[in-house]
Amino acid sequence: MSRIHTYMVKRNLRIAGSVTLLLIGALLISLLVVRTFTIQNIVVDAPGMTIELDNNRFGKNLLFLPIDTFRHELLATYPLLSDARFEKKFPGTLVVHLVRRAAFAHLRLKETIYAVDVNGLVLGIDTDVNGYPLLEFDVGTVSIGNTISDGRVRASLSFLAHLSPALPVSEIKERDSTSLLARMGNTNIFLPQTGDLGGKADTLQIITEGFRIKGALPAVIDLRFAKPIVTN
């Protein structure tokens, strides 16, 4: 019995020693990982924007960042952002790439011109209107970072979004209480203020392709009704 007891004691001691060594090794590795991959530098890449981030929100370790959570938080906090990407540069640098929403059109309110995105979100005051369709509607007061809810603006943006780049509409404004006037070069286009303006854009493309084969666009294209009316 004494030999068996001695054997059992020695075996238990060996097991306990092995477990202890494993625990010490795991602790040392954990400490090494924490120290090696501690976030030491956060770089914000935000072209055209001035945004200061709370570095404490990102925690301490580069390996265990909840990227999706941080991305959703940034997009919710800064509506002018279209995307946020995170780049880990080991061992200790985090680069936050912030992408600003792209201007799609301009809205003129009296003497002020605002850049808006394709969804009508106001991006800011702009002075360079070249290359963008100009919308002219009295929508009252607008705020940067808010989306314009005016039906005429939203209808105009929907129409423009469905147009081919080959159809350069320069401006859209109210024609009367039920219709819009869009200008494309020397051609006036009459549009309804409601309904499927994406479908109207498709119709316009078909009409203009036919006239371009002949060499000249018509003076007026009326798309307010089920069948378009073309006037030379």
pTM higher than the cut 0.85: no
Three-state DSSP at 47 gives coil
Three-state DSSP at 38 gives strand
d(CA 181, CA 189): 6
Encode pLDDT of 6-28 as tens digits. Answer: 656 666 666 666 666 666 655 54
Three-state DSSP at 20 gives helix
Contacts of 143 (CB under 8 A, 6+ apart): 122
Write the CATH number of the domain with boundaries 105-231: 3.40.50
Cα 141 to its chain centre, rounded Å, is: 24
CB count within 10 Å of CB 168 equals: 12
| Pairing mode of beta strands 134-136, 122-125 | unpaired
CB count within 10 Å of CB 93 equals: 14
Mean pLDDT value of segment 164-174: 92
CA angle 65, 52, 91 (to 5 degrees): 35
R_g (Cα) of the chain, nearest Å:
31
Residue 30 confidence (pLDDT) = 53
In the chain, residues under CATH classification 3.40.50 are 105-231
Q: What percent of the chain has pLDDT over 90?
A: 56
Encode pLDDT of 174-228 as tens digits. Answer: 999 999 999 999 999 999 999 889 999 999 999 998 887 777 889 999 999 999 9
| Cis-peptide, bond into residue 91, ω within 30° of zero | yes
Report the Cα–Cα distance between both ends of the chain, in Å, rounded: 116
Question: Residue 68 above 80 pLDDT?
Answer: yes
| Pairing mode of beta strands 122-125, 81-89 | unpaired
